[in-house]
Structure 1
Amino acid sequence: MQWTSDSSNTVPEIAQAQFNKPELRLGSKGEVVEELQKLLTRWGIYTGVIDGNFDKVTEGSVKEYQRRVFLAEDGIVSEKTWHALYMGMPVGLPELGKGCKGDLVKRLQRLLKSTQDYVGYVDGDFGELTEAALQSWQRRHNLPNTGIVDESTWRALSRIPR
């Protein structure tokens, strides 16, 4: 398995082949579930027994990983979740900046509130307060303080403990 990635938007060929995985959910069994459990263990999420049984503990770990990488927290391991698991980071997220609106902005605002950078309302509106909070956070984490959530910022944000 390849565990490293670079900062480009391309997926290494070896990883691309590995994304052709079945959808997994509560009740799934087998070697592919063992593989999932090993990946979740690798990223510090799963601490249960690697036994090939997609039980409630595995489902909870999948949801936690999905939250960490800004995916829908449904506990179902489909293509996007597999991709994020192999890359060890968020994948396929849009760039966010001033003027953006929506659920991802709300998630960003909640995360920045947890780091005490954002003091505004969690309203899903990427305005000046959100931009300033993000720039402050970026500065402290040695990222370019652009006020834009790009791939490197998404990756760094995914490492904030929650």
Structure 2
Amino acid sequence: MKGVTLRKEAIVISSVAAGVLFGGPTLVLAHESPATSNKLNSYDYSQVVRYGHTGSYVSNIQKKLTSLTLYNGAIDGIFGKATEHSVKQFQQLHHLKVDGIVGKRTLTTLSAIQNEQKTYQLGDKNEEVKSFQTKLKALHYYTGHIDGIFGPLTLKAVQEYQEKNKLELSGTLNTATQIHLLSNRNKKGKTLTKIKVQNVQEINNNNIVVNAKNLLGSRYVWGGNTPSGFDCSGFIKYIFEKENILLPRTVNELWNYAKEVQKVGVGDLVFFETYKPGPSHVGVYIGNNQFIHASSSKGVTISNLSGPYWKERYLGAKKV
């Protein structure tokens, strides 16, 4: 196109992409440097990439989707129909707007999940295993203690879950199994007591907030999940468990598990991007533009969403 000059290291735009690009407000990652071409977290999160775009940025998105078993096409750097379909699958799994466009929300979620995802197997012991035990127990596959130890009972539960849901029978909490579990909303293996919608709303709007306020002043402890000390996600997990609602343990897992809402309501989870890309802090909205959370500097406290620190880091609200 006349008058348009691209730098040598810029992403090459195909004729198809040019028609899409210059016909609308799409932003092009035209100044991606070779030094950051393999680091998805290094990209400008204000950029948008969609059908018709080409280049190493697209290749990296394809690689991330492949590692999450959502894309099995060629890593060719061409954002075609197959890539768009995989992006839509990812968005649907993680309760994002399903438009096939990789914008800030989709990119931060994709980056956070891919960076933190790893396989857990027999003998492992950590908080992540505890979160998946909680999910498997809620779905009536796991019958043991929520202790974070990948033992024989956890192995049996994982194998049963994989068999029933036609996943690879690896006996490990691999990426495909983790994604399936996190996106599974009551696709149970056995009998699961149903909760009426009105009761869920009552829990969210009243009991959860009361539970949270009763803990005001509790101190902050990294990895803490009891009144003797909480971190932000441990605090959320504790106040919901008081109402027999079992949630994943980490902020990233909560972000993937909960359902996005257009307008925040009392009892909804509010997420922030603080010390790393993607969701890294969470609290509970209590009305009047306020939320309660476990702050690293103040412990369990109430803050304002419009405060300068929180406003610029706010990612959005989700409902359990």
TM-score normalised by the shorter chain: which range applies? 0.5 to 0.7
Report how far residue 38 of structure 1 moved: 0.7
SS in 2 for 1:86: helix
Q: What's the CA shift string for 1:11-44, capped at 9, x where partnerless?
A: xxx8753343631111111111111101111222
Q: Residue 80 of structure 2 aligns with which residue?
A: 55
Structure 2 unaligned residues grouped into runs of 5+:
1-38, 115-182, 205-236, 258-320
Q: Which amino acid in the other structure matches residue 88 of structure 1? A: I
Distance 1:111-1:124 versus aligned 2 partners, 3 A rule? farther
Report how far residue 59 of structure 1 moved: 0.7
Q: Residue 63 of structure 2 aligns with which residue?
A: 38
Q: State the identity %.
A: 26
Aligned residue runs from structure 1 range 83-94, under 5 A: 83-88=108-113
Higher RCO (CA-CA < 8 Å; seq separation 6+) = 1
Q: Residue 186 of structure 2 aligns with which residue?
A: 113
Q: Is the 1:118–1:129 Cα contact (8 Å) retained in structure 2?
A: no
Q: Residue 7 of structure 1 aligns with which residue?
A: none
Deviates more, 1:150-159 or 1:74-83: 150-159
Report how far residue 112 of structure 1 moved: 2.9
2:200 aligned with 1:126: yes
Report how far residue 82 of structure 1 moved: 0.9
Q: Which amino acid in the other structure matches residue 119 of structure 1? A: K
Q: Is the 2:49–2:103 Cα contact (8 Å) retained in structure 1?
A: yes
**Whole-angstrom CA distance in 2 between matches of 1:150 and 1:19:** 29
Aligned residue runs from structure 1 range 130-149, under 5 A: 146=241, 147=245, 149=247
Q: Which has the larger radius of gyration?
A: 2
- Which residue among 131, 152, 156 is the counterpart of 2:250? 152
Cα RMSD for the two superposed structures: 3.7
Distance 1:67-1:15 versus aligned 2 partners, 3 A rule? same
Distance 1:78-1:35 versus aligned 2 partners, 3 A rule? same
Q: What's the CA shift string for 1:40-84, capped at 9, x where partnerless?
A: 112221111111111111111001111222211111100111111
**Whole-angstrom CA distance in 2 between matches of 1:79 and 1:29:** 18
Report how far residue 148 of structure 1 moved: 6.4
Give me the TM-score of the superposition, normalised by structure 2.
0.29
Q: Is the 2:112–2:252 Cα contact (8 Å) retained in structure 1?
A: no
Q: Which amino acid in the other structure matches residue 126 of structure 1? A: V
**Whole-angstrom CA distance in 1 between matches of 2:186 and 2:52:** 36
Q: What's the CA shift string for 1:75-123, capped at 9, x where partnerless?
A: 110011111111117xxxxxxxxxxxxxxxxxxxx943323646357x6
**Whole-angstrom CA distance in 2 between matches of 1:23 and 1:157:** 21
Distance 1:53-1:70 versus aligned 2 partners, 3 A rule? same
Greater strand fraction, Structure 1 or Structure 2: 2
Q: Is the 1:62–1:77 Cα contact (8 Å) retained in structure 2?
A: yes
**Whole-angstrom CA distance in 2 between matches of 1:36 and 1:128:** 41
Give me the TM-score of the superposition, normalised by structure 1.
0.53
Report how far residue 150 of structure 1 moved: 6.6
2:95 aligned with 1:70: yes
Greater helix fraction, Structure 1 or Structure 2: 1
Q: Is the 1:120–1:129 Cα contact (8 Å) retained in structure 2?
A: no
Q: Residue 52 of structure 2 aligns with which residue?
A: 27
